[in-house]
Structure 1
Amino acid sequence: MASLNTSSFLSSSKRVVPVNASINVPKFPEIPFSSSSKLPSRMLFEELNGFSHSILPSQNTNLTVSQSHDDLIRSELYVILEAVADRVEMHHNIGEQRDNWNTLLLNSINMITLAASTMAGVAGVAASNGAALLAFKLSSGLLFSAATGMLVIMNKLQPSQLAEEQRNATRLFRQLQNEIETKLAIGKVNEKDVKAAMAKVLALDKAYPLPLLGAMIEKFPSKFEHATWWPSSSPKGTTLQSKEAKNGWNEGLEMELKEVMEVVKKKDIEDYERLGNLVLKVNKSLAIAGPLLTGVAAVGSMFISPESSWSAIVPAVAGALSTAINGFEHGGQVGMVAEMYRNCAGFFEMLEDSVQEAIEEDVERRENGELFEMKLALKLGRSLSQLRDLAKKSAYSRVEGADVDEFASKLF
């Protein structure tokens, strides 16, 4: 009985009882993986180590490079703009200074010449007194000699013409300054604008030099020459061949501009060349006559003698004539008038070159045709309808063999 109980106990102890046990683990959200995303471990590593930078896409890199290039171009234009503003102030100040030269030198020379003429006249009256005669003769001779030397220098430099050159340079530099400021305000600038602005600055520096020695413009050239202050260019493009409008241009607009330029060439430029040559000849004659008369007066004052009371007439009259001629030449600013005609003739030549350059350039690279036409009309002081009427008159006059009865410009 005891063995039976023991065996039953052992058998019952060997029976396996199944145990159901489980561990509840929280469910994490699924992380979407893609070929372009970073691994979670890499992202965690960068966060823990404080990395905030990431590789930009290629498009953003190109955009940053493009913006940096545009900023560089704008900076270059601003540098040129600062140089242009400095030149405006420089030419303005020097123009005022040279205008003062003209006034001061003219007044000084005329006062010296009149004083010398008076002394020569008094010397003829004081012929009986030897000491007084010698004093007046020496004084008038020295004053006439000084006036002659000052006149030679003044007529060589032509201060009134120098002042007009600086006034023109100031106006043209201000025009360039406004042009650059407009481009910067619009915001569309490129390397071509920088090169064009730089070329215009250098061309203006060459056309209107500041030094008086070496680089000064020839005041008495053998032939009247136009002023040239724009950079030369030789575009190699194709003209518009069809009547279809493109970029504001068509064949009719090109013909209109060509006809207007024919009127400018035959009427305006020829007229200013004629007037410029005339004023140049008058200025040359006056520039020679003034010092010549004071030189004659200086020599004549040395020959005043008590034996001849008429010996004082020559220096006195020559001095008076010299004063009148100097007053007309420099007081009337004949040199300034010559420079004005030279500048006006250059203005019309610049218009002709700009129209020719625009027509020869590729249509896609040209300035808008309607805008270009409006600019030309404003420069000539005309409305668009008046500009078109002028082109029609030019075409009809060439067919009929007659001349146009009006000038292209209504401003000058």
Structure 2
Amino acid sequence: IPSYRNSYKKNICVDMLREGYHKSFTELFALMERWDVLREAAKVRSIFWLQKPLEEQPEKLDHFYHYLTRAENAERKGYFEDVYNNLYALACYFNTPEDKWVRNHFYERCFKIAQLIKIDGGKKEAEAHAHMGLLYEEDGQLPEAAEHYEAFHQLTQGRIWKDETGRFLNLLACESLLRTYRLLSDKMLENKEYKQAIKILIKASEIAKEGSDKKMQGEASYYLGLAYLAAGEHETALTVLNTYSQISTDLDDDLSLGRAYEATAKVLQSRGEMEEAIKYLKKVLKIVRNNFQNLDIVRASTMLGDIYNEKGYYSKASEYFQQAFDTTRELMNMPLMDETKVHYGIAKAHQLMLTINNYIETADFTSLDYLLSWKESRSDIAPDLIAGKA
């Protein structure tokens, strides 16, 4: 049968078999079958499958043919580094959201081949662990991801290897491990497993110090400090967060310093040291206003409002809640606007209640006149001297 009567996909398969690339044909055929299964599964679930059928994508078929046959040829000769490079080229080519399952297939193939490469000191094996870590991380399998990132980190220690963009592999290993440890610790903290969370975050801090990246060290200290706060170990939390503050100051990083001060204020608030907490929150407000961080302004203002409201200083509470509310209006953030509106309304009600109670207790003609005027108009009532202080 003339080749022009066949589909492009079939011609690719026939060419592979004719030239003796039976292993490449078997792998491509299995991938094409899975492609069709995924299309059918999407139809059953009424999901709109954006991809065209594989036979309508000759460029992808060409890539499969080119790199699979080159990989098979290299494998026959025992050139495992070339096998790895060709399979990795396919993984990179299919690194799009809809094709990630193809990329993951080649990541797994690269990982197996990397174990056979003995001439590069373990660099390809390290890279393969990094790719497998990412594969598991994206799938939400964090313990498995951590295992691969730990191997990646171990293999790159003391090495000056770089990736294709010029970044040191050891630094990438540190970043990947810290990210995964933080995600694992978040789940532990949710389950109130404080000791385990602290243990893994201490490990993260030690790795961050190895990476010689001050910003990374600061981030590790921040999350460790928050874990100590959640566990109720306030003194240790303050010590660790102070380290984060110092690193942020050394780096001249205002936003990180603001985050350190906010976390410190939370610890002080938990210890009942409200005046100290207020000092730190006012520092936060100054920093975030200077840097136009509106969401941070809302959060810090709300925290200050809560403290003043709890202390019975309702005028001050209203002032900070109003700042938070006005900022959310600028942001046009409706859910946040509704939340700050409630805080502001409660503080105003407390302020009003205190003022009215003071007028009632005073019971002179001026006070009664204020009360009657307010009852008729329901507008803002002028606070007396005592109420004004609150």
TM-score category of the 2 structures, normalised to the smaller one: under 0.3
Higher helix share: 2
TM-score (norm 2): 0.23
TM-score (norm 1): 0.22
Rg comparison, structure with higher value: 1
Structure having greater relative contact order (Cα 8 Å, sep ≥ 6)? 1
